[in-house]
Amino acid sequence: MSMAMMWQVMGVAVGLWWNEPRAEPAIPWDEMTALQKHVSFFDYDGDGYITVAEDYRGLRALDLAPGPAFAFAFAINGALGTPTMGYPSLTISIYDIDDGIHGSDTGIYDSQGRFVPEQFERLFADWDRNGSGGLDPVELAARTIDDADLFDLFGVTASAAEVSLLFVVAAEDGELSRDRMRAFYDGTLFFELEAEGG
């Protein structure tokens, strides 16, 4: 059995819902913050919590290969589970996702998880150095390093992981376009990518 098949079998084993359609979100769409909309992509059964298996399923739906999807699912849930649940956990709570906002973030979400358009504009004004209307890996890396809070190693690592993941699933022609970045931050990008077939 190949590694890919093994991850797939594990994915099925941990949830019989693997092929179940997505349930209605636990919090009505219009009442969610941008950050909650973004993470609700992964809450397939609509209970307001994201398990590692749900995270894995969502990443696979975004066309990530099984190995990286498994690694990212553990890394993301490992980083956000405990702060959002309030006790050691690998499951993420959507209700308290704003507690998962770490240092070294872009400020594009406020402390409640709401989208801040001015900060988004600033991101492009500051970092689209070649004026291409998109951010390439060099521009993204420069931004991540410059934005780093001093001594906030966890925050930098988490930001770099998020940017890498975003780039893998959403880059076009070697960069992340303004439209895709905007959709990422307002919480609709992953739904759009899934609808497009990854």
Contact residues for Ca ion (CB under 5 A)? 43, 45, 47, 49, 128, 130, 132
Closest approach, Cβ 32 to Ca ion, in A, equals: 14
Closest approach, Cβ 190 to Ca ion, in A, equals: 15
Closest approach, Cβ 49 to Ca ion, in A, equals: 5
**What's the longest Cα–Cα distance across the chain?**
50
Smaller CB separation from Ca ion, 157 or 164:
164
Helix (H, G, I), strand (E, B) or coil at 131: coil
Smaller CB separation from Ca ion, 39 or 64:
39
All residues at 6 or more sequence positions from 44 whose CB lies less than 8 Å from its CB, including other chains: 17, 20, 22, 23, 54, 57, 58
Smaller CB separation from Ca ion, 15 or 155:
15
Closest approach, Cβ 171 to Ca ion, in A, equals: 12
- Backbone phi and psi for residue 77, each to the nearest 5 degrees, phi listed first: -65, -35
All residues at 6 or more sequence positions from 36 whose CB lies less than 8 Å from its CB, including other chains: 27, 94, 97, 113, 187
Among candidate residues 163, 159, 181, the one with its CA nearest the CA of residue 103 = 159
Report d(CA 42, CA 61) in Å as an integer: 10
Closest approach, Cβ 131 to Ca ion, in A, equals: 7
Which residue is nearest to Ca ion, using beta carbons?
132
Closest approach, Cβ 110 to Ca ion, in A, equals: 25
Burial of residue 117, with CB atoms counted within 10 A of its CB: 0-12 exposed, 13-18 middle, 19 or more buried: exposed
Smaller CB separation from Ca ion, 33 or 77:
77
Smaller CB separation from Ca ion, 126 or 149:
126
Task: Classify residue 150 as left (phi > 0), alpha (psi -120 to 50) or beta.
Answer: beta
Smaller CB separation from Ca ion, 112 or 130:
130
* Helix H or strand E segment including 119: helix 117-127
